[in-house]
Every structure is written in C-alpha cells, then in structure tokens.
Structure 1
Amino acid sequence: MYFDPRSVDVVADQIIGGRRVPGAERREVPSPSDRRIVREISWASPDQVDEAVTTARRVWRDSGWGTTAPRERAALLYRWADLVEAHAEEIARLESLVSARVYPEVMARDAKVVSGVLRYFGEFADKIDGSVTPTTKDSLSFTVHEPHGVVAAIAPWNFPIILAAWKFAPALAAGNAVVLKPSELTPFATARIAELAVEAGLPAGLFNVVHGDGAVGATLVKHPGVDYVTFTGSSATGARIMADAALSGLKPVSLELGGKGPQLVFADAPDLERLAAMVARGITYNAGQVCFAGSRLVIERSIADSFLDKVKGHMAGGQAGETWADGTTVPPIINDSQLDRIDGIVRDAIADGAQAVCGAKRVDREASGFFTPTILRGVTTENRAYREEIFGPVLAVQEFDDVDEGVALADHPDYGLTASVHTADINKAFRAAQAIESGTVWINDWGRRTDFTAPFGGYKRSGLGKDMGRAGYEKYTKTKAIWLELA
C-alpha cells in the first residue's frame, strides 16, 4: 500500500482571498476505492460564490496583475511549479484518495503535468506579440492583447488536477484572475494547489476555489462579474453552461466535452501485437473514464477475429484494485451512479444485438465498484453503445471491407474529439485523417503525451475552443485594435 487513506488530511473549505473559508453546508465525499472512507467538503452558498468573484475582481484590479510585467508573472508561476513538485506526494495522496487516479501515476504524471503546465504557460507571458497592420503613411494601426478579467473555470473529476491546471495556468499567465470550481467528487488536491499559489507569491485572492455541484457552477457562470467561462465535462452540461453564459451577459465560452474516439485499424497496420496492446490500453486506462478514450474499434473485417483475440488477451492482464494499492492498473468506477449507467448501456447494447466478446459484468465489492474490461462486437450505428459516450472500459466494435466504408464508420455523427488511424500506407492514413471530423487525429498512435504544445479540443458535440498550445493561451486574451492618426 502506497499510503494509508485514513491518515490523509484534506482542505475541506473554499479558498477565497488566500484563506480557507467554511461553506454554507458540509457534504460527504466518499472514496471510490473504499466508500467507507469518507471526507467532508463545505459547499459554497450563492453569497460565497459572489464573494469569490468579487474578491477576484478587486484583487485583479488593485494588484495590477493584468498589466504586471510578463516576466514577473512568469517568475511567480515558476515558483508555484517548484512548490507543486515539492508537495507532489501530498498532492498525489489527496488526488488518489477520492478519484480514480492511481497513486503512482499521479506521482509520475499528473503532478508533473501541473508543474509543467505552469512553466509552459509562464513562458508564454511575453511571447505573444501584437501586430502592425498596413495603413496609409500618416496613420499607425496596431493590435494588443489584453486579459478578459475574471475567468470562471469548471473542471471535471476524471483527471482533476491536470484538467484544472489546463485552465488556471494559462488564464493567470495571460493576466486574468480565476475562480475555479473543481468537481464535488474530487475537490481536495486542487484546493491544496491553490494554497500553494499564495505561498509562491501570487496575490491572495487572484485565484479562488469554490466547491459544490452543478447549481454552484451555474451560479458562478451566471455571475455578472465573470468575463469568460471555461468548462470541461459532458456535452449535455456544456450546452447548459453555454446557455447560462449567453443569458447572463453574452460571455465568451470554451468547452472541452465528450468523445467517441475511433481506433480505425486497417489490415496493413504495422505491428498488430503492439497495436492490440495500445487499443486495450486506450479503453481500459483510468477504467475508460477518459474523454479521449479509444472507445470504438473500427477494424478491417479480414483481421477482426485474430485482432480481437489479441486485444482480449491484453485486457485480461489488468489488475483491479484501490488507487493506493500496489499493482493496481484498473481503478474503480467513480461512483454507483456512473457504474449503473455503464452497466445499463452495455445491457441495452446486448439486447439490441451486440455480442459480448469478454467482460460485460459489473463487480460490486464490499465498498467499491468496478466494471470488467468489455468488448462488444456487432455494434450498429443505432446501438446505444455507438451513440452515447459510455465513460467506462467498454470497446464497441464495427467491421468494414473497404477504405471508404471504414472512414465513414470512424467519423461519428455527433462527436469529434479524437481519433486514431492505423495503417502502413501514408496516403491512406492522410486520406482518413483529413476525412474524419475530429479535433485530434493520431496516426499509428493513441493518447496525449506529457508535452504541452499540441492544442486539444473537439468538433461537433465535443466542444469548441482549445486547451493547451498557443491556442490554449490566446483564448484567455482579447484583441484590441488601436488606430493612431499622425500629425
């Protein structure tokens, strides 16, 4: 066991003005690994949401953060990154306690991504230039980039600190203040990281954290003091947030939403054994609770039987367990509600004609819940397993005979977050990559690496706007054109 979950101390309050502020009421936060292990979090009242936004606005104005020299902003973010690394073990325990993120991965990946994102966007602070536009010789026209002001950020539960950092790091680097609402299921590590910001020298109150459910999030989005909204989560919730923002001041919004990522596998794909392991990992990683999961296998019929046997073999090697236990590779499903939903979709899919190659079973332990890695074959485009984002370790399989049919199946009518194309034919690969409507297409690969340069965001119901890369910084600024008539 990497740590004793009963010994972990948590930050149970809002972080407003650099202080821990008790909320209006307290709610229980159970661990998905052992629901008998419960911590409490205080939820923000509407008045406390108002306090957080008002504080962010006041500190942003009084500190001059938006006009602070870019290198000074960068230096503070570097110090903050150093503190995140110094407290990585504490942060990893807080993250693994109430999320599905296994402790060694948080140590090796998640905490390092947070510190890396802070440094990466700190470097952007003085790298984005304005431009001088063509005019007559007696005029000067140029553009400058300015921060929006107060950014409302809402982060999900599946990769809590990573996806929170994708928001607060670029927003702060660009000169904004931030009010963040983490998921009520996974609040603790993000709140601790916010405290480290003040320790690093960030003006207290520039980055505030409020806790609560969707009602708290809606109050935050609708607040008249919020200038920009960024959200990661389900497509249905994203639509509501977009509507709330439009009806409360026409605030700009960026949304990173759900996915139904295809693994398009042609018969000439290189190294099928390696590829089978990749496909298995693409749907079992984090128990499938990944927006960019490779949740659909679209495979050339001539190799389907043998390839599925390989994928099934790799799936069988996973070890289900607590996030703090040695050897765990398949973590629990976040809660019973999500487990019920996964189970319901799989049962409906089988009732509608899909065949379970393996898995298709929920496992209810005494104090946790898992879903066995599952392959569903014969999934039609009318099947619920094709139409809906499952967010569990369930691979829906469709087969094709020619290139056009394979590409058409891979291109989902509703979702377009990520896709993978596997073939040794570069012409076929680019043809498919160009045809599939998706924000990211990997060729002979799957999954985001720990680099920060590639923008990430979807097409269609998978969202609008980009996180990470240059685009993930620039969206937190607005462009002003200044025109000068020379005497």
Structure 2
Amino acid sequence: MLELTHDEWLSRAKELDLSGFHHIDGADEPGGGATYAAVSPRDGQVLAQVADGGAAEVDAAVAAARRAFDAGPWPRLAPADRGRALLRLADLLEERRDRLALTVSLEMGKPITDAYDIELRAAVNTFRFYGQLADKLTDESPHTAPDALALVTREPTGVVGAVVPWNFPLTIASWKVAPALAAGCTVVLKPSENSPLSALQLGRLATEAGLPPGVLNVVTGDGPTAGRAIGLHPDVDVLAFTGSTAVGRHFLRYAADSNLKRVWLELGGKSPNIILPDAPDLEKAAATAAWGIFFNQGEMCTAPSRLLVHTSVAERVTEAIVRRAGELRVGDPLDPATEMGALVGEAHLGRVLDHIDTGTSEGARLRAGGTRTLTGTGGSFLRPTVFDEVNPGMRLAREEIFGPVLSVLTFDDLDEAVALANATEYGLAAGLWTSDLSTAHQVSRALKAGTVWVNCYEEGDLTVPFGGMKQSGNGRDKSAHAIGKYTELKTTWIQL
C-alpha cells in the first residue's frame, strides 16, 4: 500500500484533473458535444463532465478498430511483440497506480486501500500475465493419414466490443481487454457510465505504451445508447459483457438482430456459502463470511450473500458475523482506515434499501444494520446488514441485491444444504467449509457453480478460469482459457 494519510489523499483528490473525452483511434475525442456529470458517491460532488456517446461515437470507434485489425500492424505482429507492448502497458499502470486508484475510489466509492492494493494490483497483474502468455500459445498438427498434413491454427476473431461494470472498473476491463489484445484482436471498450474515468485513463496509457491507433478505443455513455450501439454493430465480431442477467439478455438479442456476433456473458450471482459443523475453524469461517459479503460494499457478483449454516452452529456463526458488522469501519473512501466505503450512487442505494424493507416485511429478522449512515456527507453509505430466519422463498434469498446484505439460512443435513445451494437461477460461485476430504470433493461436484472455494472465499489467481453456469453466463475470464473467446480455430488440410 502506498503510505499516504487521509489528508494527503484528500489533497491529491483536489488536484486531480480528470478528462471525460472518449479515446478513439489513439486520440482524445469530445464526440458530438453531449456530456453528463460523473458524480462521486463519497460526497455527491461532480468529478468531471463526461462525453455522452451514442451511435456516432460507437461507429467512429468501431471503424478505427476495424482499420487497425484489417490493415494495421497489431494482428500481424509477432506474438512476442504484442506481449512486450502489453508488458509496457502493465508497467505504466504500475507507475500511475496511485492516480488510477484515486480515480477508482472517487468514481465508485471503493476504499482507497482496496483500490490501490487489490483493484490496481489485479489490473497490473492481468496485463503482465497476458503479456507473458502471448508468445506461448500453440497451434496443432494432428496425426492423420501419411499422405496429408493437417494444421489447426488459432486466429484472432476481429473487433471485440467489451462492455464492463462499475464495481471493479479496471479489473474487469483488464480481464476482457488483455486476452483480446494478446490474441491479436482490436477492442472497443465501453465502461459503465458510473465509472468512466479510470477506463479512459487505461485507453490513454495503452496509446502511451505504443499500441497502434485504433487497437484500444474507449467510448463512454450509457447502456441503452452506447452499449446497445456496440451490441447491434455489424462490424463488432465478439461481444464480452459483465453485468446483470437482465442486460445480458439484451446483448443476446442484439447479436441475433445484427450479425450473430459471438457473445460472452459474465452475469449475476446469488452465491451460497455453506458452513458445516465440522468446519476446521468456525471463527475463521464466520470472519470470512463477513468479509466476503461486506468487501467492496457487497457490490460483487460473487459475494456470498446466502450463508447456509448447519442448525447446530447457526447462532454461534451468526453472532460472530453480527459482531463483525458492528465493528466494521464505514467511512470516507479516501481514508486508508476505512473498511467499507460508499455504494456507487443514490439510485443503487435506494434499490438496496428496498430489498432490506422487503426482507423485513416478508418476516426475516434484521440482526444488524439495515439503514443508511454518514448522511451528512452527501455520500451513499449503508450500514453492513445481516438477516437471519430467512427462508428460500423470500426475495432476500432469491434476488441479487448487490450490496452489503447477508441472508442466513439454516439446514439440518448435507443433502438439504446442497439442494438449498442449487435452488437459484444463478451459478457463479459457492463456498464450502468442512474438514472432511470426501465431503469437500462430493459437494464441490454437486454444486452448480463455476467456482467453488473450500475453506476459503474469493481466493485464486490468473492461472484459473472464472465464469458462471446457468443464468450467471457463459465463457471464462482469466487464465489461458480466456484466449479462446477471442480466437477462431481454422483447419487447413494439405494433401501431400
């Protein structure tokens, strides 16, 4: 962590000059002149006026990406040269890490410690991983008849449209952009309208790192306008989206209504976290459950928002989480001591509060939080919230809240736990706490989730893939497997 005090971060925030222009074809572009205000959820103040892009700006960005792919050097470079460019970009992200972390903290409310130590570390590591991987991908030459030679080559797909959310604006953008660029594709990136400023800096740094014009373009604007234009664009070959399941359905329709572009979706979650009575350390399990739901203000698609705990230890575990909720320091995101910052904005805070009100009216018991706090700051702050006596039919147990709201459900045997865990339309992630090796393997196989953490939560690195099952989406980010989303396999058969 960069050792700066609260006052020092505040001073840097006052000096921060944030440009809201699009970044198209290697240059900043104001677009058609329409703008919107980027508002910080920490205090409700305007950070910058941001270009409000639409079809014209998307057309310009896609045209630049198409030229860069069809006639430019990027897809024709030796993979090692593309890798070196991505490594230069990673170095620049590391060099500007404090400025980028400050931007992320200001635009989406993430504590500055998390923005610097976690968000920026992930972005830097992602570009380094794919920069190092770029020249290590191999094609195939299957054994076939002695009078023929078969080749299976991996070729870049073309122009990628990447539409990413606000909760991890640089991490998730990096998960899309880095493997696409490593594969030789060009990219049009549209960040969330709630977190455009860090993505615009990423685009400028890519140009500074030497990526040719048009290889990485960033267009800002809202989903129904700019996002829709990318989804429907006939010159976008691949669409990579992270966001809600409802919006994911729109992108599938856009693909069907345009050029049948390939669509990769990482969508919502309602992740179960199962604590069995033989958990190796119940206190650690409870502490991790609390951390998992309150980290990043609960604004995570993998957040373990459904705690499934055996009846025999339920009260002990719940009390520990309630105690931690009361101790958690909610405060100014720019204070390094803050553990939970602001939710992304007033509209989102209102939706989370509506879920809390519904939970109470449906009969769940509110054990902690449930109300906003720090109301005098102008920011969108909520107390960490815990419900127990939740049953599977309640909205609390069924719908993704995307906030620091935990629902505690109980079970009496392992079969019931697995049934409860899988009783959801989502399948992104799950947790399991047990000392029994056979139980760990059997339950992990039975859980319908793209990732299962055993005796931990949110662990892993770039070597392992990430993505969902069921209505949590398809395809995988991270790892070498992500390259497959941005390449086509071509068979060449040579008769000798």
Q: What aligned pairs does 1:14-25 form with structure 2 within 5 A after superposition?
A: 14-24=22-32, 25=34
Following the alignment from structure 2 to structure 1, what is the Cα–Cα distance between the partners of residues 269 and 85?
35
2:489 corresponds to: 479
**For residues 415-470 of structure 1, what are the alpha-carbon distances to aligned partners after superposition, in whole Å with 9 as ceiling and x for unaligned?**
11000000111111111111110000000010144x21110000011011100011
Matched position secondary structure for 1:39: strand
Pick one of 118, 122, 131 that aligns with 1:109.
Answer: 118
Q: What corresponds to 2:244 in structure 1? A: 234
Report what 1:27 is aligned to. 36
**Counterparts of 2:87 and 2:356 in 1: how far apart (Å)?**
46
| Paired residues for 1:306-345 under 5 Å | 306-345=316-355
Greater Cα shift, 73-82 or 354-363: 354-363
Amino acid at match of 1:300: H
In structure 2, the gaps of 5 or more residues are 1-5
Aligned counterpart, 2:296: 286
Match of 1:412 in 2: 423
TM-score by length of 2: 0.96
Whole-angstrom distance in 2 between the partners of 1:148 and 1:264: 40
**Match of 1:3, as an amino acid?**
L
Within 2, Cα distance between the matches of 1:243 and 1:454? 30
Match of 2:3 in 1: none
Does the aligned pair in 1 maintain the 2:158–2:185 contact within 8 Å?
Answer: yes
| Match status 1:11 vs 2:15 | no
Between 1:469-478 and 1:249-258, the stretch displaced more is 469-478
Q: Which residue of 1 aligns with 2:385?
A: 374
What is residue 365 of structure 1 aligned with on the other side? 375
For the residues of structure 2 that align with 1:22 and 1:151, how far apart are their CA atoms? 22
Gaps of at least 5 residues in structure 1 are none
| 8 A Cα contact 1:260 1:412, kept in partner | no
Q: Retained in 2: the 8 A contact 1:6–1:37?
A: no
- What are the equivalent positions in structure 2 for 1:46-65 lying under 5 Å apart? 46-65=55-74
Q: Distance in 1 between matches of 2:373 and 2:207?
A: 43
Runs of 4+ with >3 A deviation = none
1:274 maps onto 2:280 in alignment: no
1-structure distance, mates of 2:22, 2:219: 5
Aligned to 1:454: 464
CA deviations 1:183-232 (Å, max 9, x no partner) are 11111111112111111111022100000001210101111110000000
Distance 1:77 1:7 in 2: 29
Indicate the residue corresponding to 1:297 in structure 2.
307
Deviations 1:248-299 (A, max 9, x none): 1101111111111111000110111111110100100011001110101000
**In the TM superposition, what whole-angstrom CA distance separates every residue of 1:2-31 from its partner, at most 9, and x where no partner exists?**
233332111210000111100320101110
Contact map agreement 1:100 1:158 (CA 8 A) in 2: no
SS in structure 2 of the partner of residue 90 of structure 1: helix
Measure how far apart 1:364 and its partner are.
6.1
Q: Which amino acid aligns with 2:240?
A: T
Match for 1:444 among 447, 452, 455?
A: 455
Matched position secondary structure for 2:139: coil
Is the Cα–Cα contact under 8 Å of residues 87 and 132 in structure 2 kept in the other structure?
Answer: no
1:264 maps onto 2:301 in alignment: no
Distance in 2, Cα, partners of 1:446 & 1:116 = 20
Q: Write the letter of the residue equivalent to 2:249.
A: A
Superposed, 1:372-411 pairs within 5 Å as 372-411=383-422
Q: Which moved more, 1:297-306 or 1:268-277?
A: 268-277
Matched residue SS, 2:327? coil
Partner of 1:85: 94
Identity over the aligned pairs, expressed in percent?
38
> 1:12-55, CA deviations, whole angstroms, 9 ceiling, x for partnerless residues?
10000111100320101110001034421011131111010001
Specify the alignment match of 1:347 in structure 2: 357
Deviation at 1:62, TM superposition (A): 2.3
| 8 Å Cα contact 1:124-1:473 kept in structure 2 | no
| 8 Å CA contact retained: 1:71, 1:125 | yes
For 1:357, the aligned partner's letter is R
Report whether the alignment pairs 1:99 with 2:108: yes
- Conserved? CA contact 2:364–2:390, under 8 Å: yes
| Of 387-396 and 40-49, the range deviating more from structure 2 | 40-49
Map of 1:137 onto structure 2: 146
Selected match of 2:435 from 392, 410, 424: 424
Contact 1:96–1:324 at 8 Å: present in 2 too? yes
Query: Size of the alignment, in residue pairs?
Result: 485
